[in-house]
Amino acid sequence: MIKIAPSLLAADMGDLRRSVADVEQAGADYLHLDVMDGTFVPNISYGAAVIKALRPGSALFFDVHLMVEEPGRFLADFAAAGADLLTVHYEACRHLHRVIQQIKALGLKAGVALNPATPVEVLTDILPEIDLLLLMSVNPGFGGQSFIPSSTAKIARAAALLQKAGSTAELEVDGGIYAGNAGQVIKAGANVLVSGTGVFGQPDWAAAIAGLRSAD
């Protein structure tokens, strides 16, 4: 089943609570929450306090994407805020295995994200430990960028790697996904599609989510 994870980064920052309620109503599967620290990526977004404030108003699965240097320092804060899954960047963790164990010890699902330049093979030895593999199809830091075309072949390589390892981890893709290119992302093997502008930037969010889900 294809899951759609609208990225709140593209929503109205002055009315986040309403955006979350409306996108849940519109059929979102996950809520993708982009946390940026201004060091790992050249932008700052929002942190655990904002996620905590949104939690009581939503039953959505909170898919938190930490674009944060050494995220191990903040995992407990995001768990307490109500995250369901924490995704950390391979490039941001000196001791990735330890960070993954810490996320799981907090009772949350654990994901690992890869930047466009990082090959999927670096995750070979950690695959049995993770619940989700997130491939960035743009360089992280900003919404509204263009999908990097070589991402499609990389998704297929990641899907093959997961299959070979007998992994049941989800394969999520993030960046520049719209109805027009969602089909190729799904065909390559992704099952969770993040979309910011492709949902919140559209006039009809329910139609946008349905369009992404059924794209071919």
Question: Could you list the active site residues?
Answer: 34, 174
In the complex, least distance from residue 144 CB atom to ligand DX5, rounded to whole angstroms: 5
How many other CB atoms sit within 10 Å of the CB of residue 24? 17
Binding status of residue 65 toward Zn ion by CB under 5 A: yes
Rounded to a whole number of angstroms, the minimum distance from the CB of residue 166 to ligand DX5 is 28
Nearest residue to Zn ion, scored by beta-carbon proximity: 65
Alpha carbons 171 and 185: distance in angstroms, whole number: 10
Closest CB to ligand DX5 among 74 and 98?
74
Say how far apart CA 125 and CA 201 lie, in whole Å.
38
Closest distance to ligand DX5 from the beta carbon of 177 (Å): 6
Q: Is the dihedral of CA 54, 55, 61, 66 positive or negative?
A: positive
For residue 40, give every residue at least 6 positions away whose Cβ sits within 8 Å of its Cβ, in sequence order, or none.
67, 68, 69, 89, 91, 92, 140
The DSSP string of 50-78 is HHHHHGGG--SEEEEEEE-SSGGGTHHHH
The least distance separating Zn ion from the CB of residue 166, rounded to whole angstroms, comes to: 27
What is the enclosing helix (H) or strand (E) of 215?
none
Instruction: Name residues contacting ligand DX5, limited to 126-155 (CB under 6 A).
Output: 138, 140-145
| Stretch 9-28 residues interacting with ligand DX5 (CB under 6 A) | 9-10
C-beta of residue 170 within 8 angstroms of C-beta of residue 133? yes
Which residue, judged by CB position, is nearest to ligand DX5 in the bound state?
196
CA distance 202 to 178: 10
Number of residues that bind ligand DX5 (CB under 6 A): 22
- 154 sits near Zn ion (criterion: CB under 5 A): no
Give 19 or 168: the residue with its C-beta nearer to ligand DX5: 19
Q: Kindly list the residues in this chain that would bind ligand DX5 in the complex (CB under 6 A).
A: 7, 9-10, 32, 34, 65, 138, 140-145, 174-177, 194-198
